[in-house]
């Protein structure tokens, strides 16, 4: 009787361990812990973790995070979107064309750009669900189409592939600050006055804090992560997303509108890419045809690091956010640690391989495969 009791306890312990191992956030948590530990040891005294350093890598992480949220939900639904990077460049260029070249009010340029880009997302989804073609192929075609338009349109209208003047065109606009402003300025000024963060000591900005606010890019990233997490884990639609990516046919038998779910996820991915683009052009004050290059792969890698399975039906928005955080910390941390920045790409390849191996092991734990 005693042996049976001990066996049951071991089974329960293994069950708890198994539950912990199959959490999609596990890879992101382990990776983030390792990355922060590494840079605390090797770059802790370089300014990486002062106010300005934290703001630098947080801003970069937020860029990855915004597109990773859309990519995560789409991958859980069982699809990919390789046009994200080109969508970023295209959206930024459309804002420049509408707002600068054509002289439209910036709020109209932003809204029309969102409508066009989300429309492309809907078209991607519609083609995928109606033809049965792999989303990899469909969105690869869209990648080239959008990149071609991004180069052709400004060359035709302006005879160049970079259009500036966006910041000037956005002055006084009521919608532009939602993407290009900073929040919390008085708080950071107070922190500077009491000596919590550094302030400038020379020039016209003497007495001002080195960090004068939180960019809207970071606010958007936080909002999208929170909304995506709640949508995925607290709503019926979230269950539909998991079902559509796990077993689409069984989901249809259960009454899940699989086609509609997939199309909406393609639209949401395009929406996230457009948010990234608008924040980017407001920050730089210009749009370039080469913007967003390779961002689609970086988004997918962040999602995979965050624990999503490439086969769909499993993943976590929080995990994807952690994957994006790892990207931002490493990209900036290499500079602070005086490591050659080109090694960032090496890191991406290594971390992707390790994440896929871990996710494959997790999938076998879930399915019982050997």
Q: Find the range with the poorest average confidence among 48-52, 77-81, 112-116.
A: 48-52
Residues forming a β-bridge with 162: 288
The answer to the question of residue 223 being in a domain is yes
DSSP string, 180-226: H-EE-HHHHHHHHHTTSS-B--SSTTTTSBS---EEHHHHHHHHHHH
pLDDT value, residue 182: 92
Averaged pLDDT, 46-75: 92
More confident: 280 or 349: 280
Containing 277, the helix (H) or strand (E) segment is helix 258-284
Confidence category of residue 15, pLDDT binned at 50, 70, 90: low
In a domain, 9, yes or no: no
In eight-state DSSP terms, residue 45 is T
Given a cut of 60, is residue 5 above it in pLDDT? no
pLDDT of residue 112 exceeding 60: yes
Flag whether 39 is in a domain: yes
In the prediction, which pLDDT does 307 show? 82
pLDDT digits (tens, 9 = 90+) for 140-185: 999 999 999 999 999 999 999 999 999 999 999 999 999 999 999 8
pLDDT above 70 covers what percent of the chain? 91
* Residue 20 resides in a domain: no
Which pLDDT belongs to residue 233? 93
Residue 1 lies in a domain: no
What confidence tens digit (pLDDT) does each residue in 76-94 have? Answer: 999 999 999 999 999 999 9
Return the minimum-mean-pLDDT range out of 206-210, 284-288, 358-362.
358-362
Of the ranges 12-21, 118-127, 162-171, 194-203, the best mean pLDDT one: 118-127
Mean pLDDT taken over the chain: 88
pLDDT band at 20, cuts 50/70/90?
low
Q: 28-42, 271-285, 330-344: lowest mean pLDDT where?
A: 330-344
In a domain, 38, yes or no: yes
Spell 10-22 as b/e; 16+ CB within 10 A means b: eeeeeeeeeeeee
CB-CB contact of 296 with 84 (8 Å) = yes
What is the pLDDT confidence band of residue 345, given thresholds at 50, 70 and 90? confident
- What is the reported pLDDT for 370? 58
Say if 148 falls within a structural domain: yes
DSSP 290-309: TTTTTHHHHHHHHHHHTT--
Q: Is residue 125 scored above 60 in pLDDT?
A: yes
pLDDT band, residue 38 (cuts 50/70/90): confident
In a domain, 7, yes or no: no
Quick one: which of 86, 116, 110 has its CA closest to 98? 110
Range of the domain at 311: 25-198+205-367
> Which whole-number Å values give the CA distances from 310 to 8, 22, 79, 217, in the listed order?
35, 15, 9, 28
CATH number of the domain residue 257 falls in = 1.10.3470
Q: What is the pLDDT of residues 176-212, one digit of tens each?
A: 999 999 999 899 889 888 888 888 888 777 788 888 8
Residue 2 has pLDDT above 60, yes or no: no
Provide the phi-psi class of 195: left if phi over 0, else alpha when psi is between -120 and 50, else beta.
Answer: left
Domain count, the chain: 1
pLDDT in tens, 243-281: 999 999 999 999 999 999 999 999 999 999 999 999 999
Instruction: Please report which confidence band the pLDDT of residue 220 belongs to, taking 50, 70 and 90 as the band edges.
Output: very high
If one compares 110 and 52, the residue with the highest pLDDT of the two is 110
Mean pLDDT for 95-113 is 96
Positive or negative, the CA dihedral 315, 318, 322, 328 is positive
Instruction: Report whether pLDDT(311) > 90.
Output: no
- So what's the pLDDT on residue 108? 97
């Amino acid at each position: 009787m005693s042996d049976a009791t001990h066996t049951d306890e071991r089974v329960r312990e293994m069950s708890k361990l198994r539950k912990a191992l199959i959490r999609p956030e596990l890879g992101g948590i382990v990776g983030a812990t390792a990355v922060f530990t590494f840079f605390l040891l090797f770059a802790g005294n370089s300014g990486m973790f002062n106010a300005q350093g934290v703001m630098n890598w947080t801003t970069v992480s937020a860029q990855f995070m915004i597109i990773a949220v859309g990519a995560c939900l789409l991958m859980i639904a069982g699809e990919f979107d390789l046009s994200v990077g080109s969508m970023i460049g295209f959206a930024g260029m459309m804002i420049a064309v509408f707002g600068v070249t054509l002289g439209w009010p910036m709020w109209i340029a932003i809204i029309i750009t969102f409508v066009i880009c989300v429309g492309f997302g809907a078209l991607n989804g519609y083609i995928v669900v109606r033809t049965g073609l792999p989303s990899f192929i469909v969105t690869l075609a869209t990648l080239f189409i959008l990149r071609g338009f991004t180069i052709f349109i400004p060359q035709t209208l302006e005879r160049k592939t970079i259009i500036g003047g966006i910041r000037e065109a956005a002055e006084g606009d009521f919608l532009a600050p939602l993407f290009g402003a900073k929040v919390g300025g008085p708080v950071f000024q107070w922190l500077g006055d009491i000596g919590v963060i550094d302030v400038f000591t020379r020039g016209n900005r003497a007495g001002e804090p080195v960090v004068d606010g939180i960019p809207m890019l970071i606010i958007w990233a936080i909002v999208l992560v929170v909304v995506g997490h709640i949508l995925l884990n607290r709503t019926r639609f979230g269950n539909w997303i998991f079902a559509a990516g796990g077993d689409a046919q069984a989901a249809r038998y259960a009454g899940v509108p699989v086609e509609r779910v997939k199309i909406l996820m393609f639209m949401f991915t395009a929406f996230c890419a457009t948010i990234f683009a608008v924040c980017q052009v407001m920050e730089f004050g210009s749009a370039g045809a080469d913007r967003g290059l390779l961002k689609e792969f970086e988004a997918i890698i962040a999602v995979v690091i965050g624990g999503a399975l490439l086969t769909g039906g499993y993943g976590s928005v929080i995990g994807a956010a952690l994957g994006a955080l790892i990207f931002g910390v490493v990209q900036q941390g290499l500079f602070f640690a005086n490591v050659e920045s080109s090694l960032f790409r090496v890191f991406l390849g290594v971390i992707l391989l390790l994440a896929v191996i871990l996710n494959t092991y997790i999938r076998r734990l879930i399915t019982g495969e050997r």
